[in-house]
Structure 1
Amino acid sequence: MDFDFAAVRNSADYLWQGFQYSLSLTAFATCFGILFGTLLAMARLSSIKSLNWAASAYVNLFRSIPLLLVIFWFYILVPLMTGVQVGAEKSAYLTFAIFEAAYFCEIMRAGIQSISKGQVAAGYAMGFTYGQNMRYVILPQAFRNVVPLLLTQTIILFQDTSLVYVVGATDLLGAASKVANRDNTPIEMYVSVAIIYLVISFTLSRLVKQLHAKIAVIR
């Protein structure tokens, strides 16, 4: 069977729109996930049992359920609970942000725990409050220590955005699927999308590996 390159060129604009949505979803979920995940990590390490229990329950729940099932949950339940039809593409933002926060939480928790107790004690000796100690002493170092892990999780997140096509969202894979059904070009579309994911994920993985090596040298 001949590969029809013209079919890929003719659909480039639509695939680009889907690719932009995938990037947007990845960026939003990463930013929210790191922010909320950091708060969850602090709660999990808190001496307040209620905070610790609530954060642990949240993380264990979302780390024990398949992402695809969570996508269906929010896509179906949010309209039922709120009475507002948010649509597949908007509900995906909410789903990924909440789901990925659980994974970023564990990464940030490991980063916080990697900081020596001596530095924590030194911060308190300087008169810092708990919040100031976290802001100026612990979190900057913790974040630097786990940057490679955060970026690796972001790459996985980018790959996982392909799951939203099952609820009709037009991400990169969703755009390719729609074009394939419309023009009867499944081979061309799915091969092209696979190459895009391969190039981006492999390139970013190599960059993360180089960054990890540089951070190791700095340490």
Structure 2
Amino acid sequence: MFGLDLSFVNWEIISKFVIKGFIFSVQLTVIATIGGIIFGTILALMRLSGKAFLAVPATIYVNGMRSVPLVMVILWFFLLVPASFYNMIPGGSNYRAEISAIITFIAFEAAYFSEIMRAGIQSISRGQVNAGRALGMTYSQNMRLIILPQAFRNMVPILLTQTIILFQDTSLVYAIGAYDLLKGFSTAGKIYGRPEEAYLLAAVVYFVICYSLSYMVKRLNSKIAIIR
């Protein structure tokens, strides 16, 4: 159909080109999610601290990052950061694109995770906060022991949904030459002279993975709603 020949795809091509890119895409997603949640939580707490010297810089960072396309941030970091920065990392000069992608994604996704965390924290009733204060808890103890555990449970579906979006965005590292899932399909398509088929299969793989994860998140969300 339409002159497409999908028979060129076999286990040899998948194992040689695709799996390597898939592993990096998953690694980038996991690292960026963990780093983004940690950094995003700090930013959220800074914005909710009520102290201008903490809230203002955090607000500027979050709004600034959310106003710039991710691909531009990736290109800026990759092109503007001097090579000496990568030389400080053991073997960093050989993995410049990958290191740039990891740092950029953590910094960028932190702005989005920050808003999720802030909304989750604000969703907890003030009665919980006042109860912690009545028990003599400090602000950090109140957050660590009462507010954040409840907020995380409420935010799990949203955090997972953002992670799925993050996985889709990993295809943008193709712009700086990092070997991700899309790069694996693209390389195989160029070598075997089947670029159209390769990009079509890449789209199908992304769709299957993201749709399956979205379905799992939907099921999880329904279970959490029942618990509530």
User: TM-score, normalization: structure 1?
Assistant: 0.96
Match of 2:42 among 39, 42, 52: 39
- The answer for the alignment partner of 1:70 in structure 2 is 73
- The answer for the alignment partner of 1:22 in structure 2 is 25
- The answer for the alignment partner of 1:185 in structure 2 is 194
- The answer for the alignment partner of 2:90 in structure 1 is none
Runs of 5+ in structure 1 lacking a partner? none
Worse overlay, 67-76 or 85-94:
85-94
Determine helix, strand or coil for the equivalent of 1:47. coil
C-alpha RMSD over aligned residues: 1.4
In 2, the alpha carbon distance for the partners of 1:174 and 1:8 equals 17
Match of 1:5 among 4, 7, 15: 7
Letter in 2 for 1:88: A
Letter in 1 for 2:143: M
Equivalent residues in 2 for 1:143-158 (5 A)? 143-158=152-167
Give 1:79 shift: 2.2
Give 1:215 shift: 1.2
Give 1:191 shift: 1.8
Give 1:10 shift: 2.9
Match of 1:199 among 183, 199, 208: 208
Contact 2:86 2:96 in 1 (8 A): no
Does structure 1 residue 95 correspond to structure 2 residue 97? no
In 2, the alpha carbon distance for the partners of 1:149 and 1:191 equals 29
Give 1:80 shift: 5.7
Matched residues, number: 219
Give 1:7 shift: 3.3
Report % sequence identity. Answer: 54
- The answer for the alignment partner of 1:110 in structure 2 is 119
In 1, the alpha carbon distance for the partners of 2:39 and 2:13 equals 37
Change (3 A) 1:2 1:76: closer
Give 1:81 shift: 7.3
Letter in 2 for 1:156: I
Runs of 5+ in structure 2 lacking a partner? 88-92
User: TM-score, normalization: structure 2?
Assistant: 0.92
Determine helix, strand or coil for the equivalent of 2:81. helix
